[in-house]
Amino acid sequence: MGQSLVKNYMHIVFSTKHRQPFIQAPFEDELHAYLAGICNKLECQPIKIGGYTDHVHILCMLSKKIALMKLVEEIKSHSSKWVKTLDASLASFYWQDGYGAFSVNPSEIEKVITYIANQHQHHSRKSFQDEYRVFLKKYKVEYDERYVWD
């Protein structure tokens, strides 16, 4: 086979350090746009980015030119530095050390887009930790609760 044909939809999730509620208006939309810009620069087409006050969800196409770990590292490091420049109240902004990344079946893309779009409504009833545990269970990811949160 002469061509390398890849189509990997990734749903990436990570929180602010200690789930601090730093992601507030008017910075929320700016942050999501900035995250999309980083994804584009790395040839990982962003499809939907959203979240809540303490975390983000990124649905994107993972480029065949970059490892998932490198994509997340670039997204987190560049956006963390940028957020701190927005306002003095964000000087102690950091992302958590870890992240979750889940492959998405192409037939489920619209469902994930809707899920990400409805994060504010969703989190009026459920914490980030509870949401994240559901993802880990759904994708059968083994984990130790002591090391998931930072």
Determine the CATH number of domain 8-148.
3.30.70.1290
For the chain, the structural domain boundaries read 8-148
Q: What is the pLDDT along the chain (150 residues), one digit of tens a residue?
A: 578 888 999 999 999 999 999 999 989 999 999 999 999 999 999 999 999 999 999 999 999 999 999 999 999 999 999 999 999 999 999 999 999 999 999 999 999 999 999 999 999 999 999 999 999 999 999 999 888 887
The answer to whether the CB of 38 falls within 8 A of the CB of 82 is no
> What is the Cα–Cα distance from 119 to 124, expressed in whole angstroms?
9
